[in-house]
Structure 1
Amino acid sequence: MILLHRYIAIVDRINRAIGRFAMYGIFALMAVLLWSSISKTFFTPSLWTLEMAQFLMVGYYILGGPYAIQMGSNVRMDLFYGQWSTRRKAAVDIVTVFFLLFYLGVLLWGGIDSTAYSFKYGGERSPTAWRPYIWPIKVTMCFGISLMLLQAVSELFKDILRLRGEEVPTHVV
């Protein structure tokens, strides 16, 4: 059980730090969108703003996802869940987390394959006029999905500890 506690502490600390950093990505996204509006209104429209905004949004979402799971901020169908005891919630979460782990595993497998393809053929580029390289966002996605997998396992371990009646590590503020 000490290993479970240690794993939870390490993964939660890493995902908290990355998630807190990723939160500020919204400001970069706002700056790009503001520049896009200004350049379209007063100057020649910039070619790069739409794709850059999309890339920033992917990074913001995918790197903030594990932190959202850790904080319990993810969307949950709360028809009955809110009324259940902590132990019952933990038991249901143990079952449902395996669906998440399967989904993330398939997503990571496809992401790694797609990233390898991008590197193998000399750097895949977007077919737009700006033509940025695609590999940085693919690497970011693989990294974020890996972090999400680690966090899902951390949540599984927390639920196991709850079912055993043990103390579950709380969020580091």
Structure 2
Amino acid sequence: MISKAFDKIINVIAETMGLIGSLLILYCMIFGVTDVFLRYVLNSASQWIGATIQAAMVLIACMGGAYALKHGSFIKLDLFYEKFSARKKAICDIITSSLTFAFLGVLIWKGTDAALMSIKFNQTTPTAIPIPIYPVKTVIPLAACVVLLIVIQQFVQDVKTVIKGSKE
């Protein structure tokens, strides 16, 4: 019961992050073209578009990473893995998940440190129009926490597969 509610919540969060990521891609496309138009056609460069596009790209990686992981969209080296049974795939996934847990642990730990420092000093971009950086730095460890939840969800499914012999 709790597991199904947990799975549903994670699915909703991942889908929402995917939607936000897709909207950020549209933002980057629209304002990227606008910046080029302003710079080269009107000879009037923007002072804020470049910085906001950079921030949006960081957010795209955060949002899109969780969404892609949830949907199994990361590129894999399927040379051998593709031919494995569901149980062997689950065993390989369990073995490699230790590296994922370590990476996400460090990302959450150091990302939180960086976000707290950025908030403490009210960090902004060093441009003529200071744009706050701390919101973006805060999203990084939060998104890593969501990815960790997805990895835990997949880890539990892999353990079930190894024990029971087939994926649900």
TM (norm. structure 2) is 0.90
Alignment of 1:29-40 (within 5 A): 29-40=28-39
Contact 1:32–1:49 (Cα < 8 Å) also in 2: yes
Higher mean Cα deviation, 130-139 or 12-21? 12-21
- Compute the displacement of 1:150 (Å): 0.9
Worse overlay, 125-134 or 3-12? 3-12
Q: Residue in 1 aligned with 2:19?
A: 20
1:70 to partner: Cα distance: 1.1
Q: Does 1:126 align with 2:125?
A: yes
1:27 counterpart letter in structure 2: L
Give the aligned residue type for 1:152: V
Supply the distance in 1 between the matched residues of 2:156 and 2:80 (Cα, whole angstroms): 23
- 1:56 maps to what in 2? 56
Deviation at 1:127, TM superposition (A): 2.3
1:104 alignment counterpart: 104
- TM-score normalised to structure 1 length: 0.87
Structure 1 residue aligned with 2:90: 90
CA-based RMSD:
1.7
The answer to whether the 8 A contact 1:87-1:162 is kept is: yes
More helix by share: 2
1:147 aligns with 2:127: no
**Equivalent residue of 1:96, what SS?**
helix
Counterpart residue number, 2:66 = 66
Distance 1:6 1:94, change over 3 A: farther
Are 2:86 and 2:167, in contact at CA under 8 Å, matched by a contact in 1?
Answer: no
Which structure 2 residue ranges, 5 or more long, are not aligned?
A: none
Once superposed, which parts of structure 1, at least 4 consecutive aligned residues long, lie more than 3 Å away?
2-6
Q: Distance in 1 between matches of 2:90 and 2:14?
A: 21
* Cα distance, 1:129 vs structure 2: 3.4
Pairwise CA distance, 1:24: 2.3
8 Å contact from structure 1 (residues 86, 162) kept in 2: yes
Q: Unaligned regions of 5+ residues in structure 1, if any? A: 169-173
Q: What is the aligned length?
A: 166
- Give the aligned partner of residue 171 of structure 1: none
Residue 41 of structure 1 is matched in structure 2 by 40
Structure showing greater relative contact order (alpha-carbon pairs closer than 8 Å, 6 or more residues apart): 1
The structural deviation recorded for 1:5 is 4.1
- CA 1:136–1:64: 2 relative to 1, 3 Å: same
Could you tell me how far 1:167 is from its partner in structure 2? Answer: 5.2
